[in-house]
Amino acid sequence: MPAPNPHIAHTDEQLLQLMASDNRDAFTELYNRYWDKTFAVAYHRLDDELEAEEVVQEVFLSLWQRRRELKLNYTLATYLSVAVKYRVINHLDRQYRREQHLDELSFCFDETQDSTTQWLEEKELRERIEQGISQLPEKCRIVFLLSRDENKTYAEIAAELGISQKTVEAHMSKALSSLRQSLGVSVPVLILLLS
């Protein structure tokens, strides 16, 4: 029978401090403490056990890799919940783009050279949009993706992330402004591109 983890009585904050000093037992305790909760969040959104496990593993791997510079503005539970949701969004986005890519390839073979050129231009534009999104600050990007990919209202995003609706609006405004500049398009065109 394995010995109990000596850090079981520590708070999350204490465990994070120990983990920053490369303490693997502290990490193991956090992993055991939050694995079920983070898995439940991922599974609820993906409805696939293996994919949910993969997402959770990625989140905890990232937590360990960033242990020395990690600075939390919220509780660890909130951080992990948001991190899982963000990873799920990325996962679904990759999956969607793979499916779209296959659809577009089959469409491309049936059409003329003009259609192929148009498809390549659209693909390049989508890649520029995704690149622009990936360069947004983390919180700004999470807010934007929750709005675009999950069609959440500002109130729902505010409640989910534990921030004010004004803060959500500020993040969205910053995201749209940044994307508008990086793509060099007007606001109406940007809205059409992102829809």
Predicted local distance difference test score (pLDDT) of residue 116: 52
What are the contacts of 131-134 at 24+ separation with CB within 8 A? 131/182, 132/178, 132/179, 132/182, 132/183, 133/175, 133/179
Predicted local distance difference test score (pLDDT) of residue 99: 63
Predicted local distance difference test score (pLDDT) of residue 111: 47
pLDDT in tens, the chain (195 residues): 445 556 677 898 999 999 999 999 999 999 999 999 999 988 988 888 988 898 899 889 988 988 898 887 778 888 888 888 888 887 777 776 666 655 555 554 444 445 555 556 566 767 777 777 888 888 888 888 888 777 788 888 888 888 998 998 888 888 878 877 776 655 444 554 555
Predicted local distance difference test score (pLDDT) of residue 6: 62
For residues 169-178, one letter each, b for 16 or more C-beta atoms within 10 angstroms of the residue's C-beta and e for the rest, the string is eebbebbeeb
Predicted local distance difference test score (pLDDT) of residue 113: 45
Q: How far apart are CA 131 and CA 128, in angstroms?
A: 5
Cα 186 versus chain centre, distance: 26
pTM: 0.50
Amino acid at 42: A
Predicted local distance difference test score (pLDDT) of residue 31: 92
* Structure token digits, residue 116: 């192929």
Q: Which domains does the chain have, with CATH numbers?
A: 1-110 (1.10.1740.10), 113-195 (1.10.10.10)
Predicted local distance difference test score (pLDDT) of residue 1: 45
Predicted local distance difference test score (pLDDT) of residue 171: 85
Q: How far apart are CA 176 and CA 74, in angstroms?
A: 25
Predicted local distance difference test score (pLDDT) of residue 145: 82
Q: Quick one: DSSP state of residue 74?
A: S
Q: How far apart are CA 33 and CA 77, in angstroms?
A: 10
Q: How far apart are CA 59 and CA 17, in angstroms?
A: 18
Residue in this structure with the two tokens 């921030």, named with its chain if needed: 163
For residues 54-84, one letter each, b for 16 or more C-beta atoms within 10 angstroms of the residue's C-beta and e for the rest, the string is ebbbbbbeebeeebeeeeeeeebeebbbbbb
Predicted local distance difference test score (pLDDT) of residue 45: 84
Predicted local distance difference test score (pLDDT) of residue 165: 87
